[in-house]
Chain A
Amino acid sequence: MKKIFLIIVPFLMISLVIASGSLFGTKIQLPVEKEKTVRQDKKNPKQKIRMPEDHSKQGIKCTTCHEGEYPTKNDPMLRACLRESVLSEFNYVGEGPGEILIDGMSQNYGGVRFSHKVHAQMSAMSTGCTGCHHYNTSVPILKCADCHNKDRMREDVSIPDLKAAFHRQCMNCHKQWSGENGCNTQCHVRKGESKPQKTDKLLSHPPLTEPGKMQWETNYEQGRIVTFFHDEHNKLFKIDCKTCHKQDNCVKCHDKTKQTESGSKYKKSLSEHHKPCISCHNENNCQKCHRDGEISPFNHGKSTGWTLKSYHSKLACAKCHGNQMPYKKLDRNCTNCHKNFRTGFNHRVTGLVLSDTHKDMDCKSCHANQDFSKPPVCSECHDDKSYPSSRPGKK
């Protein structure tokens, strides 16, 4: 009897250990690979957010959204909605819908026509897509109802319900724009009444005329004239509209209320006036902008002595100079940026097509010490040739 017992007990124990091991094994499965849906609210399992399969590969830190180290299907351990701070990837304006009919919420009112295109076009100068689509880490765009509950009486009141979510999106700007907050002044039409006709104006914003050169006369005595090249900043320096036009909204241009007599409602302080410039440019260098006359447009060749040609002129400044302002001066060694120059490099881009004999040679053979700022040396192989009187190829 005792012997049987002695055999059975360890057997039972081993099987128990195996069983529990396999149990835990399934529990600590990371959801990132297999899962297509992630539940947002523990208390409300019906409420789902569909996260794209590859969202773990988008270069977003897991801890941005997940509180715990091992989020699971049943407990994704999501933090409270982070809105703008979540990295986003969006489509271009043209890919979005033109107009959306928001319907099915109200019993008293008909659907609300929302001109998505106008808002998308104009948001480029304010909050961007993230201003409204605040919880999307990538396409597809989530519906508001995916996160915002339809019921006002609900357990988790930390995020607004669907009705509030819609209204907050619209009202914060529209109240500012027109000062109106009535239901059927802007958006809603009572059921049964006719809906406003679709107009082209509603569907798309007329193209904006982008300013080229702007000039102001100031009170600053050491230099009254300030010239600003808007087109340079935008086109040449490839600075995003949003970088400067952070807080702009419709009101900046569409001043419907005209409340003040002086004309401009935004009485900017001195620091506010300078803020857009000094956020990049050195604050103490007044002469940079304040001159007695107009300054000439930026010319890389004139300012630095290195004229940008073909490929380099198409690059954003930060590509070579980095994001740190003021920009650092680079030396003329190509390897500053082109660290992986090697045999097989398409020499054509420099303006010189190498002849077949030179094509497969090592860079160092001509460019001593890989110093590309100095003229190439021919004397390593040729006794009678020198650059630039004779070239190793065609120009």
Chain B
Amino acid sequence: MKRRDFFKTAAAGVSIAALGSGKAAGSDKKLSEDRVGVLVDTNACVGCRHCEWACKTAHQLPASDLENFNDSSVFSEYRRMDAGSLTVVNEFENEENKLLPVHVKIQCMHCERPACVSACIVGAFEKREDGAVVWDSGKCIGCRYCMVACPFQIPTYDYDKAIQPMIRKCDFCVERRDNGMLPACVDICPNEALIFGKREELVRIARQKVKRKSDAYINHIYGESEVGGTSWMYISGNDFGKLRMPPLALNPAPGISESIQHGIFAYFVPPVTLYALLGVMMWVTKRRKDEINNNGNGNQDGKEGGK
């Protein structure tokens, strides 16, 4: 009877696991075919940093006057985002023409298969149907797994805040866009180095540009297929490695970890195996004990031992 009970619970467990995994797969929202993105043309960027100002202003972050952002002395060192800036522009030397340095804006790439969403244990991150990866302050517990998981090392943290520190990263101006406006950076860019549109269309445009101006662009659309594709993509005349864009594999970042996790834990395999093993061990030891007892009592009744 006891063994029968065990199998019953195991079967129930397996079915729950199956349900659970089914649910997990279902929660991967299908991305809209019209999902949006931005194509960054580093050849068109002049490094005015107006996007930095616009971003700060749009997100109610402290920012000085727009005219102060023309100061190019900040380019002397490579900068990264922090809690007070969701995007930064960096300057790189152009080997072909030292007088025309290359400027590269960085921000969240809004991956097609985001690692942060996969890593977040409380579901505070969400990949929206329209392509944006957004973060919900209400759900976040501040574990910062997202910061570790991100292949581009984008999310930042309010380290200097003791109470309610926030994870900060570009939110693709979802609020602005829901109100029918363009992302703040795209809106202000004087050269339209940031082209906003449907991702599919942007890939087409990028391919066309790279093909038609093969002397001005290298044949690589960064983000078209890196980590399974990103919503923000880059084209440039310089090698992306030199622009400090990480060289990444083409498979989605959460792919490996998810396949291990989901593979091993699918259908409760580890606990079921563990309990099965323990059960077998218990059964073997019990049988051995019985045999010893039977041997000690002499060959009185062999039928019981067999059961």
Contacts and interface: CB of A to CB of B under 8 A. Distances in A.
A152 to B, nearest CB: 6
A167 B100 contact: no
Contact of B98 (A158, A163, A259): A259
Interface string B92-112: 000001111000000000000
Contacts of B201: 157
A168 B44 contact: yes
Given A181-B48, A257-B99, A157 B197 contact: yes
B135 to A, nearest CB: 25
A182 interface: yes
Contacts of B182: 152-153
A259 B201 CA distance: 41
Q: Which of A179, A181, A183, A184 has the most CB atoms of chain B within a 10 A radius of its CB?
A: A181
Contacts of B97: 176
B102 to A, nearest CB: 11
B155 to A, nearest CB: 28
A163 B192 contact: yes
Interface string B178-201: 000110001101111101110001
A171 interface: yes
A175 B100 CA distance: 7
Contacts of A184: 67
A182 B192 contact: no
B205 interface: yes
Interface string B254-296: 0000000000000000000000000000000000000000000
A340 interface: no
B248 interface: no
B214 interface: no
A257 B97 CA distance: 14
A251 B195 CA distance: 29
Given A171-B46, A175-B100, A80 B192 contact: no
A364 interface: no
B44 A164 contact: yes
B44 A176 contact: no
A71 interface: no
A52 interface: no
B23 interface: no
B212 interface: yes
A368 B249 CA distance: 80
Contact of A181 (B46, B192, B196, B212): B46
Given A168-B44, A181-B47, A181-B48, A157 B196 contact: yes
B10 to A, nearest CB: 57
The 5 closest A-B CB pairs, nearest first, are A164-B192, A182-B70, A167-B190, A157-B197, A176-B99
Given A80-B212, A259-B98, 11 more contacts: A152-B192, A153-B196, A157-B196, A157-B202, A158-B208, A160-B191, A164-B190, A168-B191, A181-B46, A183-B70, A257-B99
Interface of A: 80, 82, 152-153, 157-158, 160-161, 163-164, 167-168, 171-172, 175-176, 179-185, 251, 257, 259, 265
21 contacts: A152-B186, A152-B187, A153-B196, A157-B197, A157-B202, A157-B205, A160-B195, A161-B192, A164-B44, A164-B193, A168-B192, A171-B46, A171-B190, A175-B46, A175-B100, A179-B72, A181-B47, A182-B48, A182-B70, A183-B190, A259-B99
